Chains A and B, each alone.
Chain A
Amino acid sequence: NAGVTQTPKFQVLKTGQSMTLQCAQDMNHEYMSWYRQDPGMGLRLIHYSVGAGITDQGEVPNGYNVSRSTTEDFPLRLLSAAPSQTSVYFCASSYLAGGPTTGELFFGEGSRLTVL
C-alpha cells in the first residue's frame, strides 16, 4: 500500500525561486492537508482541502498556494521562496466521516526544503 506519497524528499532553492511539492494518496480520503514542522513549533497547518475543488487556509498560509483538482492529488506551490520557508513539509490525509479511522491523519514521509 502506497498511502501518502510526497515528492521530492529534499530540495534546495534560492530566494525568489518557485517550486511545487507534490502529494498523492491512494486511500480515497476526502480530506488532505499540508503542515510545516519547525524546531520548537510543532506542526502548523498551512492549507487543507475537504474535497476536489475545495481548499481553505490553515494557521500559516502566507506564501503558499494549493489546488485540488482530483481526490488523489494536493500539490503545494511556493511562488517566490523565502528563507523563512526553510522547513520540513508534511502532507496528510484522512476520511472525514464513517469508519474506524475517521479523524485519524495519515502522513507522508516529509519533504525537507532549504531556501538560501
Chain B
Amino acid sequence: GNSVTQMEGPVTLSEEAFLTINCTYTATGYPSLFWYVQYPGEGLQLLLKATKADDKGSNKGFEATYRKETTSFHLEKGSVQVSDSAVYFCALRGGADGLTFGKGTHLIIQP
C-alpha cells in the first residue's frame, strides 16, 4: 500500500534560517504529492503540490520538487519567519480513496 515518511520533530530554528523537512514515499503508479500546513486550532490548508515527476510546487517562499528517482518531496524555504511556526504534513494521492499522510512535522521558529 501507499505510505509517507517524514521527519517528525519538533524542528526548532531561528528566524531567517534555512528550512528543510524531508519527505519520502512509497506508492504504486504515479501519485500526486502535497504539502499541507496546519496552524494551531485550525484545519489543514494546502501549501503546495506537484502532480508529476520533476514538477516543482511553490507557495509563500516554500518549494518542493517531485523526485521520482528518489521517491522524495522535500520541503524547503530559504528564510523562515516566526509566522511559519505550524505543523507540516506531506501527503500523496494515488487514486480515488483519498490522501495518505505522513505523521506531521512540528516546526517552531524562534525570534
- Using a CB–CB cutoff of 8 Å, the interface residues on chain A facing chain B are 31, 33, 35, 40-45, 48, 50, 56, 58, 90, 92, 96, 103-110
Contacts and interface: CB of A to CB of B under 8 A. Distances in A.
B42 A109 contact: yes
A95 to B, nearest CB: 11
B43 interface: yes
Given A48-B98, A50-B96, A104 B104 contact: no
Query: Nearest 6 A-B pairs (CB), nearest first?
Result: A42-B103, A107-B43, A42-B101, A43-B101, A107-B44, A109-B43
Interface residues of B, number: 22
B97 A105 contact: no
Interface centre among B8, B34, B96, B103 (most CB of A within 10 A): B96
B97 A56 contact: yes
B89 A43 contact: yes
Contacts of A109: 42-43
A104 B43 contact: no
Nearest to B49: A104
A16 B27 CA distance: 38
A110 B34 contact: no
A96 B103 CA distance: 25
Interface in B69-105: 89, 93, 96-104
